[in-house]
Homo-oligomer: A and B are copies of this chain.
Amino acid sequence: MSDAPANAAFTDRLRVVLISPRNPLNIGAAARAMSNFGFADLRVVNPYDVAFREAKSAVRAHYILERAQVHASVSEAIAGCSLVIGTTAVGHRDLHAPLYRLEAGAQLLREHLASAEAALLFGSEKFGLSNEDLSYCRWLLRIPARAEHGSMNLGQAVAISLYELIRDEARIQDRFPQPAAATAEDLERITGMMHEILDRSGYINERTSKSTELKLRRLVLRLGIPQVDAETWLGILRQVLWKLKQE
């Protein structure tokens, strides 16, 4: 049971471009998130060499990292793409391109990926995308994090962006079927047995015995015992009753 889209092309058409990443752990985390959600085309522009080597040589280095292409410039990394999108934290800079929240931008990007290639650019951990990087972008994507917080972790930003791309709105209704409830007869047997146990335990006052029975029935009903558990509860009560009868 895989959740990867049936038509692999959708995910194959996206290029994830990391620009000047500095931290090997972040490069690895981005590759791992790509694999999680079924994306494979990772490009790295002008990485800090030591970091990239370190990421690739990590024990659990990923096949996505192994075949990641390294480019000297952004224009090289995006060649062949008909849509280039930048990611940005809070829009405090004077942005010259439309800015979409992730929910909306991912939908636009998915529509594009249905038939053509696109590149999604992530800036360095420290500085984000430069004005030059941004000048290649038709529009920008913003993950709706709190403005007060500042930047996001690079690996997390990649993971959340890709998750939103493969997120399936239709699955919201996809709730687990509620387990069947125990039948009225089972509930009545449970109520009856509890009544007997409580009677033997001295909980029940002879005068209010009838009202206690109603109270017990309502208590048991509110438990919402699943059918699958009814026998187990009956067994438990039977055992307690047996023990009480011994004394």
Q: Is A207 in the interface zone, CB < 8 Å from B?
A: no
Q: Are B144 and A3 in contact (CB under 8 A)?
A: yes
Q: Is A100 in the interface zone, CB < 8 Å from B?
A: yes
Q: Are A175 and B145 in contact (CB under 8 A)?
A: no
Q: Is A245 in the interface zone, CB < 8 Å from B?
A: no
Which of B35, B153, B176 is in CB contact (< 8 Å) with A32? B153
Q: Are B175 and A36 in contact (CB under 8 A)?
A: no
A149 to B149, CA, bound (A): 31
Distance in angstroms from A148 CB to nearest chain B CB is 7
Distance in angstroms from A137 CB to nearest chain B CB is 13
Distance in angstroms from A170 CB to nearest chain B CB is 9
Q: Are B152 and A155 in contact (CB under 8 A)?
A: no
A36 to B152, CA, bound (A): 7
> Chain B: which residue is nearest A95 at the CB level?
B176
A102 to B171, CA, bound (A): 9
> Chain B: which residue is nearest A35 at the CB level?
B149
Residues of B within 8 A of A168 (CB): 101, 103, 144
